[in-house]
Amino acid sequence: MSLQKILEKIEQEASQEVEAILGEARKKADSLKKEAEARARAQAESIIKQAETEASLEASRILTQAQLQRRMELLKARREQISRVLEEALKNEELKKLRLKKEIVSREGILEEMLEADRLLAELGPEIENEILAWLKI
């Protein structure tokens, strides 16, 4: 065998080995790339799922808060109406003529106190409101 042929054979074997190494490196790179893509997809799905859960909770919280706000506004409006009705009732001349008394029972005995219309409204207002709401089945 001549030197030229030996060199060509060495060069051919080296080229084949380089091709084999490059092929193996490409396979490893493809494998690593696929694994990374799979991990990235899994992480993306996890992040999306978590974001959807958080969005659902936030939407539920906002809805609950809006419902509570609506109920509070409705209750406020009802109380204002009841207060107006009671104030109008207390403006009635017939009621003003009545002298309402409040009995206070203590150890010392029974004390009677005259009630002014404003004080009557302040003391009995919440109780009357509750009775009206119960009567209206609200």
Render pLDDT for 15-70 as a digit per residue (tens, 0 to 9): 899 899 999 999 999 999 999 999 999 999 999 999 999 999 999 999 999 999 99
d(CA 129, CA 80): 10
Distance, CA of 42 to CA of 7 (rounded, Å): 52
pLDDT tens-digit series, residues 11-23? 898 889 989 999 9
Length of the chain: 138
Q: Which domain holds residue 102?
A: 3-135
pLDDT band with cut points at 50, 70 and 90 for residue 8: confident
Answering whether pTM is above 0.85, one says no
Please state the domain count of the chain. Answer: 1
